[in-house]
Amino acid sequence: MKQQLLKNICIFSFILFLFHFAAPLSAQDLDDILSSGFDTELSEPAAKDTSNDIDELLSGFDDVSDERQEKDATASSTLPEWLEVTGSLGLAGSYNFTHDAPKEDDVDFRGISMLRTTASLSSEIHWGDWQAKISGHGFYDAAYAIQGREQYTNTLLDLYEQELELDDFYLQGSLSSKLDIKIGRQVVVWGKSDNVRVTDILNPLDNRLPGMVDIKNRRLPVAMTKLDYYIGDWNLSGIMIHEVRFDKNPVYNSDFYPGQQPLPPEQKPDHSLANQQYALALNGIFSGWDLSLYGAWIFDGRAHITTDVNDSLYRKHSRVFMTGMTANLAFGNWLLKGEGAWFDGLEFANLEDEDFSRLDLMGGIEYLGFSETALSLEIVNRHLVDFDEQLTLSPDIAQENTIQTVAKLIRDFANDTIQLKILLSLFGAHGEDGMFERVQLDYDLNDAVTLTGGIIFYQSGNQGALSAIEDNDRIFFEFSYDF
């Protein structure tokens, strides 16, 4: 009896053990789990045996594993580790399809407006926490030879047909654990906006092809000494700008020049101690938001026309003082951007004895919530304080309020091999001061080669710099090889 009891207890215990161990693997339970699991994304094969689906899941890894033996496709560099050399070669072209036939003796802007071969080279040397960089670029534009060089002024050909320039040329390092120095020709970007400029005033821009090139590729490096002191979340940046350099704007005889006559000569301040420019920035970076405060005493990038002792006209850049502030606020997929700048000491030709002040305010928003897409909108208003109607007259042609709006969409396709960029830029509240729209497609043929194509449309404004741009609608392309 007792033997039987012992036996029964043992059998019961064993069965209990088996039951507990085997319970979660019961075929019935597993089927239930699998059925419910495949109801969502795999709704199409709902009628199928779900146990087959799990097998398919497992087999889905097979060809992933096949890649195991593949070799490293990248070539190793022959340069020493402390030296880096990079560069690019390119061919860029554009075709103007809307320009009217020229009047007698005018330039014929129809057809090919650019056929530019470009090259850039950059070298960096690293040692410890220090680095030096030198870079430059050059281009030759065959469009002028094709269209007939005799149509153009020498000034235009000098500026548009070919170029060879030194870009970045600096030494950068740490003087102590909290103090950095960067000395030489460089770009320093202030502000949070990506498409308009409010506090981003330290480097001039290349404006020769308005609308065709993003701001990031238009900044011109300037020689300066920059000291950065870091403490906690804050950074104090002191800058002394040694080189006086101004925007490159469309010149008389070019397709984007609005007037019928050339401007008076520009008087550029000497490279002297008295003409040094100064800038100070305080930047704070915090969780979810950033803040920057700026002050600068620099030359106004916009020149006004005045007369010299011989009553000859020339263009002069006055000294201006700027104070500004920018802030970023990130929440979810949204980024809010705000900038404000106050300029003192602005001068105009029509009221030469007076100085003017201007308040620039910018609001912007960026949204990254759509897959592979970035949307941004930036609106800026430049308000001239104590505005006088005389400023509306030539040659100043100024307005009390100048509004600019830029909307941009960037979307990546096919694992970032294709990028679509749509840009809309309006001057004036409703584009009455001019506007342009650009649609661009970039295609990465491989790691080194990128093909670009696009189209840009211009609408002229009632007055000012964009009053004669509407005939410049064009298609463009670029082939670039990076190494």
With CB under 8 A as the contact rule, the residue among 113, 195, 450, 472 that binds another protein is 450
Q: Stretches 16-24, 270-278, 339-347, 352-360: which one binds another protein (CB under 8 A)?
A: 16-24
# binding residues, another protein (CB under 8 A)? 85
Within 378-437, the residues that bind another protein by CB under 8 A are 412, 414-417
| d(C-alpha 159, C-alpha 323), whole Å | 33
Q: Is 127 in the site for another protein (CB under 8 A)?
A: no
End-to-end CA gap in the chain: 90
Helical packing angle, 50-59 and 27-37, nearest 10°: 70
- Mapped onto helix, strand or coil, the DSSP state of residue 149 is helix
- Sketch the per residue contact string, 232 through 251, with another protein: x for CB under 8 A, - otherwise: ---x----------------
Q: Stretches 136-144, 227-235, 302-310, 354-362: which one binds another protein (CB under 8 A)?
A: 227-235
With CB under 8 A as the contact rule, the residue among 95, 140, 169, 230 that binds another protein is 230
Q: Stretches 8-16, 144-152, 313-321, 433-441: which one binds another protein (CB under 8 A)?
A: 8-16
Q: Is 60 in the site for another protein (CB under 8 A)?
A: yes
Best CA proximity match to 318, nearest among 281, 275, 350? 275
| d(C-alpha 400, C-alpha 258), whole Å | 21
Q: Which is nearer to another protein, 148 or 369 (CB)?
A: 369
- Residue pair 374/194 in contact (Cβ under 8 Å)? The answer is no
Q: Which is nearer to another protein, 47 or 64 (CB)?
A: 64
Tell me if the bond preceding 204 is cis, omega within 30° of 0: no
Within 80-109, the residues that bind another protein by CB under 8 A are 86-88
Is residue 85 packed enough to be buried (19+ CB in 10 Å), middle (13-18) or exposed (0-12)? exposed
With CB under 8 A as the contact rule, the residue among 41, 81, 104, 389 that binds another protein is 41
Contacting residues for 445 by C-beta, under 8 A, at least 6 apart: 451
Q: Which is nearer to another protein, 259 or 369 (CB)?
A: 369
Within 327-346, the residues that bind another protein by CB under 8 A are 328, 330-335
Per the DSSP assignment, residues forming a β-bridge with 444 are: 450
With CB under 8 A as the contact rule, the residue among 47, 67, 80, 104 that binds another protein is 67
We find the least distance from the C-beta atom of residue 10 to another protein, in angstroms, to be 6
CA atoms 393, 396, 400, 406: torsion sign: positive
Beta strands 304-307; 179-186: pairing state: unpaired
| d(C-alpha 170, C-alpha 186), whole Å | 7
Q: Is 21 in the site for another protein (CB under 8 A)?
A: yes
Residue 429: other Cβ atoms inside 10 A: 13
Beta strands 289-299; 222-231: pairing state: unpaired
Best CA proximity match to 156, nearest among 304, 245, 256? 256
Within 269-308, the residues that bind another protein by CB under 8 A are 285, 287-288, 290
Q: Which is nearer to another protein, 10 or 146 (CB)?
A: 10
Q: Is 202 in the site for another protein (CB under 8 A)?
A: no
Q: Is 74 in the site for another protein (CB under 8 A)?
A: yes
HSE-CB of 153 using CA atoms within 13 angstroms: 12
Is residue 353 packed enough to be buried (19+ CB in 10 Å), middle (13-18) or exposed (0-12)? exposed
- Sketch the per residue contact string, 154 through 193, with another protein: x for CB under 8 A, - otherwise: ------------------x----x--x-----xxxx--x-
With CB under 8 A as the contact rule, the residue among 208, 219, 304, 408 that binds another protein is 219
We find the least distance from the C-beta atom of residue 251 to another protein, in angstroms, to be 27
With CB under 8 A as the contact rule, the residue among 4, 28, 47, 63 that binds another protein is 63
The length of the chain is: 483
Place of tokens 């002069």: 316
Q: Is 217 in the site for another protein (CB under 8 A)?
A: yes
